[in-house]
Structure 1
């Protein structure tokens, strides 16, 4: 994961509380966390793909 992507993830996911969901990209395999409310139009921070799988929910 690039530094810019890591910073974006840290800012976007907030404090990592119960609303965080872990995704894995089906194209490049990158794993990242997003708030549940951000599921609409969520894309991989590295390749931009919308082919995402939920890996872990609270």
Structure 2
């Protein structure tokens, strides 16, 4: 997930450099959403690791 966020960020930067502001804004939004999802998944797994360690 994080890999795709970085790919879309790079596409956004390249598109912005060449003047494609619409494409740049769209890919930047996709990159932000994917990064947010990756952070949420990371926090969920972190909480499971911390609180689930004492169960077993």
Task: Tell me the TM-score normalized by structure 2.
Answer: 0.29
| Higher percent of residues as strand | 1
- Higher helix content, 1 or 2: 2
Answer with 1 or 2: which has the greater Rg.
2
TM-score, structure 1 as length reference: 0.29
